[in-house]
Amino acid sequence: MKRWLTAAILAVAALSGPAWAADPAQPAAPVKIGLLVTLSGPGAVLGQQVRNGFMLALQQRDGKLGGRTADVVVADDELKPDVGVSRARRLVEGDKVAFVVGPIFSNILGAIFRPVTQGGAILISPNAGSSVYAGKQCSADFFVTSYENTQIHAVLGAYAQSKGYKRAFLMAPNYQAGKDAVAGFRSRFKGEVVAEDYVPLTTIDFQSELARIADLKPDVIFTFMPGGLGVALVKQFHQSGLAATIPFLSAFTADESTLPAEQDAAIGLYGGMTWAPNMDNPANKRFVADYLAAYHAVPGSYAMQGYDAAQLIDSALSKVGAEDGDRTKLRAALHAADFASPRGPFRFNTNGYPIQDFYVTKVAKRPDGLYETEIAEKVASQEADGFAQECPLH
Amino acid sequence: MSAGLLLVQTLDGVQLGLLLFLIAAGLTLVFGVMDVVNLAHGVQYMLGAYAAVACAGWTGSFWAALPLAAAASLALGAVLQRLVFRRLVGAGHLDQVLATFGLILLAEEGVRMVFGPAPLSLAMPPALAGTVPLFGGLRYPVYRLAVVAAALAVAALLWLAIEHTRTGMRLRAGASNAPILAALGVDVGRLFALVLAAGAMLAGFAGAIAAPIVAIEPGMGGSVLILAFVVVVLGGPGSARGAFLAALLVGLTDTLGRGLLDAALRVALDPSAARMAGPALASMLIYLLMAAVLAFRPAGLLPARGRR
């Protein structure tokens, strides 16, 4: 009976065969890509943006990258390093993917870096860019489409310095990334730091900090408050009436992932980034318009970086064609980064991290009622990270 | 630290304490009367905030959203009581913890599926959006004063209900000795259902009035739940009066402690050591307070009668 069934299915398949084998000019095998991002828990907003950006680039190319059908396996790291490792292993060893695009958070990057690169796949990070893999531990199989983590904070420090602010109030959550943010800002800001305030990650009320700010009257505030922390801080900062008098510089606190919740309270707040949705170039106009049409939301930097990860794979596969088995050629083709990024000029340094422009952005309301960050000022041109010279690759 | 700053932080402490009281009131009665550990109580707070957002979007008015959110929380509490909590009475604490932890996972993932993982916000009513000047050039948001007033009003109503009604009397009796109350012919199961639903409503109301201030996200119940349990233990399980006192104490310790500790450490230590020690100590303050109180009053500050 079973054999009968199989034979029947085969016969039907053979009859309908010409329908899918109609194009004999394209025998190229599909390319397998694993998308490993955070899709549950509080970090899911960022993972969804990366996934949306990546899928948008794919849609624009009719589901193909470098002319080959892209077979994308989406996995969720749940923001747990052990889950990330097991999902990464399954992608590399089970699904035999050629590329892993991910993760969002640096602690997951630390966990999946070796399993992916030593498992024979190329790792492309659409967000996490820890300094660890920019220096001595860099890898020829690792590319970053975002930035090295401390750069955004350093850019804001440089901006505060250039504006001549004398007294700064620094505030961050009490964990490693928060301390790195403050250190990054201080590396470029030479004025007086009136307070360095570390709040618990579970803070729900910033009123005590805001009262201190009102009391100390600093020239500028710098903060790094990702996700819900940022929403609470921005709303309360606005409600306190301080927004009118003290400039607010922040990293990942008022961006497209939190603006839908912060709304008018965030207007006029400054941030640091490599790009903003209102940048005036054809590649960006197409990206933002298509993203809005597909997802009914303004893309954030995370979406742009996911989009560029797909563009990077597309450009490299177009170059190497069927010879993607040649590792050296594939690496060289990826390193060339021959695609039009929405952020404008973009190239890779020897360590696989980008060399790009950095801007200070400002939150504004769009004519259609949505909110976005807009370019306020260019702070650095074609800047490389400070760890590349320690990387033995060249 | 200036006098104005001290006043602002005291007001903040009182406001946080009153919100905590609204959340802890239901928790302490459920724990005290029925000996049920309800980890899912923070979920009621979170759902109250989401209900307020949904109702505000639906009716277009914050004032209509508040009672609707409270009613929705009451209904949900009643449903959960029938489906889950009824079966947990008399079960071991481990079973209760497992079941209510399961409820947390279910509710948080459910909310994430319906509303998305991104934090939401609720605009505050324009009438309460301004700030009032205090002395020393400091300003204080009107909405926070309104929160204090609303929470105080609810606390007063609760006090009336517990101290001056027949149901309240049974409740107090139940907190002291539930088996004897049952032996006297009082339907403790119904009393429990009432307490659970009312407690859910109070927590939901707290979530709704906190919604314009905080970030509304699926995990928002977790951080307040821990504080609420501290309040319950500190005040004495089953004691609403104890919870009120403990909530104010926790609120004031948390907000004033953060500010005062920083100033104190700066005098005692060099700046970099103070920077390191300050945040670490500040996040421990509440627990140090709890340890100190329990060392001298193991049953809590104002334990229910007969539990001393």
Interface subset of B 119-138, CB within 8 angstroms of A? 119-121, 123-124, 129, 131, 137-138
Q: Do A215 and B124 touch (CB under 8 A)?
A: no
Find which of A174, A204, A225, A267 to mutate to test the B interface (most B CBs within 10 Å of its CB).
A204
Tokens standing for A198?
């570390």
pLDDT at B178: 81
Judge whether B152 lies within some domain. no
Compute the nearest-CA separation of A313 from chain B (Å): 29
Compute the nearest-CA separation of B16 from chain A (Å): 8
pLDDT above 90: residue A43 = no
In tens, the pLDDT along B244-301 reads: 999 999 999 988 887 777 777 777 777 667 767 777 787 788 899 999 999 999 888 9
Query: Which residues, at least 6 apart from A184, have a Cβ–Cβ distance to it below 8 Å?
Result: A149, A150, A151, A152, A153, A154, A157
pLDDT above 50: residue A2 = no
Judge whether B276 lies within some domain. yes
The structural domains of chain A, with segments of one domain joined by +, span 31-147+279-356, 150-273
Helix (H, G, I), strand (E, B) or coil at B214: coil
Query: Which residues, at least 6 apart from B181, have a Cβ–Cβ distance to it below 8 Å?
Result: B170, B173, B174, B188
Fold category of A31-147+279-356 in CATH: Rossmann fold (3.40.50)
Residue with more model confidence, A346 or B186: A346
Q: Do A205 and B213 touch (CB under 8 A)?
A: yes
Global pTM? 0.82
Taking the C-alpha atoms of residue A138 and residue B66, their distance in angstroms, rounded to an integer, is: 55
pLDDT at A151: 94
| Cα angle value B287/B290/B295 (rounded, 5°) | 130
Judge whether B110 lies within some domain. yes
Q: Do A40 and B120 touch (CB under 8 A)?
A: no
Compute the nearest-CA separation of A338 from chain B (Å): 34
Tokens standing for B275?
């920077």
Which among B1, B117, B214 is the nearest to A45, CB-wise? B117
Q: How confident is the model at residue A12 (pLDDT cuts 50, 70, 90)?
A: very low
Range with the lowest mean pLDDT among A335-344, B105-114, B155-164, B251-260?
B251-260
Helix (H, G, I), strand (E, B) or coil at A281: coil
Range of the domain at B267: 8-123+157-296
Judge whether B2 lies within some domain. no
Tokens standing for B210?
């906190």
- Is there a common fold for A31-147+279-356 and A150-273? yes
Tokens standing for A368?
């259609």
Judge whether B146 lies within some domain. no
Taking the C-alpha atoms of residue B16 and residue B14, their distance in angstroms, rounded to an integer, is: 6
Find chain A residues with C-beta within 8 A of B15's C-beta.
Answer: 207
Compute the nearest-CA separation of B137 from chain A (Å): 8
Taking the C-alpha atoms of residue B122 and residue A261, their distance in angstroms, rounded to an integer, is: 8
A to B CB pairs, distance under 8 Å = 120
Range with the lowest mean pLDDT among A250-254, A314-318, A370-374, B301-305?
B301-305
Taking the C-alpha atoms of residue A360 and residue A27, their distance in angstroms, rounded to an integer, is: 47
**Range A150-273 has CATH code 3.40.1650.10:** no
Residue B127 burial by Cβ neighbours in a 10 Å radius (0-12, 13-18, 19+): exposed
Q: Which whole-number Å values give the CA distances from A71 to A98, A117, A295, A339, B121, in the listed order?
A: 10, 20, 21, 21, 38
Taking the C-alpha atoms of residue A239 and residue A265, their distance in angstroms, rounded to an integer, is: 8
Q: Do B129 and A239 touch (CB under 8 A)?
A: yes
Which among B16, B129, B215 is the nearest to A231, CB-wise? B215
What residue has token string 């940048």? A279
Taking the C-alpha atoms of residue B55 and residue B59, their distance in angstroms, rounded to an integer, is: 6
8 A C-beta contact, residue B174 and residue B181:
yes
Range with the lowest mean pLDDT among A18-22, A141-145, A279-283?
A18-22
Mutual angle of helices B240-268 and A207-216, in 10-degree steps: 40
> ipTM of the predicted structure?
0.77
User: How many alpha carbons fall within 13 Å on the CB side of residue B129?
Assistant: 11
In tens, the pLDDT along A293-304 reads: 999 999 999 999
> For chain B, what's the residue count?
308
pLDDT above 50: residue A333 = yes
The pLDDT of B208-234, averaged and rounded, is: 91
Q: For chain B, what is the mean pLDDT?
A: 88
Taking the C-alpha atoms of residue B178 and residue B167, their distance in angstroms, rounded to an integer, is: 14
pLDDT above 80: residue A54 = yes
Taking the C-alpha atoms of residue A378 and residue A155, their distance in angstroms, rounded to an integer, is: 10
Tokens standing for A124?
């492309």
